[in-house]
Amino acid sequence: MVTDNTVNVDFDAANELLRGKEATAIVQWATDVFGEYLVMTSSFGAQSAVMLHLCTQVVPRLPVVFIDTGYLFPQTYQFAEQLQQRLNLNLKIYQSPISPARMAAIYGPLWESTNKQDLDRYDRIRKVEPMQHALAELGAKAWLAGLRRSQTDYRAGLRFVESQGGIAKIYPIINWTPKKVHEYLVKHDLPYHPLYEKGYKSIGDWHSTESLGGDDHERAGRFKGLKQECGLHLPQTPEEDQSRDSSSL
């Protein structure tokens, strides 16, 4: 429950409760527990229409946080506009206070580096810090996200509900397969991102996203293959990482 603007959730009990529940029931549980302190995020990537449709069917005016890095594909901005109009999204757009031009002038083209520290700095400036600002400004205590276990090694160990930086993270479609995602899109006549049919299975910034062959892992085309995560969904402190390890997640 949320009391006095703080989160008080028994995560083990919550995950046991949600085991076997449909995705919409998980969203409804999150709404019942967190109320106005609940938000969701969307990258407006390849299959983002699934979570946007699913969550807003349960909570029509749910705040949808969109982190605009300034380096997204033109098709991503167009896709976001299309879905905002179709689904009447309560879209909240956040950006880094450091413009892309200023960042490049100070640090150089970080995205071209093969040094993971440079890529991490890029992600922190353009994605992680704007997300932290969004959560703080919106007073969020819980965050719905469309992570799936099949996407990355890290995500394979996640449960339906986790804790990250004092925020409850809820993953309604964590156990969905690519087949189930496709079936949902077809059933509700929802579009894939325009670049999906050109081989872009996971879509981020234009300079660090590549098209893939049919047998490649869906996030193999991100970050030059040097990493799978941008940092938004990773533990923010060593203590969080240790807590996950100790619970066999």
Closest CA to 124 of 17, 227, 21, 8: 227
Confidence grade of residue 219 (pLDDT, cut at 50, 70, 90): very low
Domain boundaries, the chain: 2-246
Q: Is the confidence at residue 171, as pLDDT, over 70?
A: yes
Catalytic residues: 230
Q: pLDDT class for 243, splitting at 50, 70, 90? A: very low
Give the residues across from 64 on adjacent strands. 40, 91
Task: List the structure tokens of 84.
Answer: 């905002």
pTM attached to this predicted model: 0.82
> Looking at the domain 2-246, which fold is it?
Rossmann fold (3.40.50)
Q: Distances from the Cα of 85 to the Cαs of 70, 80, 81, 204, 207, in angstroms?
A: 21, 9, 6, 22, 27
* For residue 119, pLDDT beyond 60: yes
Instruction: Fill in the amino acid letter for 107.
Output: Y
Q: What is the pLDDT of residues 36-90, one digit of tens each?
A: 999 999 999 999 999 999 999 999 999 999 999 999 999 999 999 999 999 999 9
